[in-house]
Amino acid sequence: MRHVPLTVQLLKLIARFNRAIGIKNEVSLSLDTFTAYLSSDLGNAFNPAHLHVYQDMTKPLSHYYINSSHNTYLLGDQLRSKSSVEAYTRALQLGCRCVELDCWDGPKGEPIIYHGHTFTSRILFKVGPPPRVGTLSLVAEFAHAGGACVSPGGGLRA
């Protein structure tokens, strides 16, 4: 088998896709040429075996999709905003079934929740009765009310 230099292979490939979109006698990679390549079988990034449904897709959508939340506790940007226990309540009441508890060691050794290494405010992780209800208490209360559950590892699962 004869070795064809990569440059020659690329030029032939570009010429092939240029012809496919109606460009003749030009060897330049235009956006249209590149798009034609990506849309072809050669440029397909997906596994061809997955073109056909190979899993059981007869269940309700909620069995495949979980409404989740990232940085659930933040009321604004992830560098300087306020953190809020109530943000967990709101997310769970709106149907979120997976929330993030971003736990860090607090100044007194007590776990806190905040976006680490930033200027966001901190909220307590602790569990306690009102009026000193911590984040975990609210998450557990509203998660169970919404059909989700708190796993023994502390995460929240549907």
The alpha carbon of 110 is separated from its chain's Cα centroid by a whole number of angstroms, namely 29
Catalytic residue check, 50 = no
Is residue 123 within 8 A of residue 114, CB to CB? The reply is yes
Among the listed residues 52, 115, 117, 144, the single catalytic one is 115
Catalytic residue check, 115 = yes
Report how far residue 130's alpha carbon sits from residue 100's, in angstroms, rounded to the nearest whole number.
Answer: 22
CA-CA-CA-CA torsion sign (131, 132, 137, 143): positive
Among the listed residues 50, 70, 117, 144, the single catalytic one is 70
Cite the active site residues: 70, 115
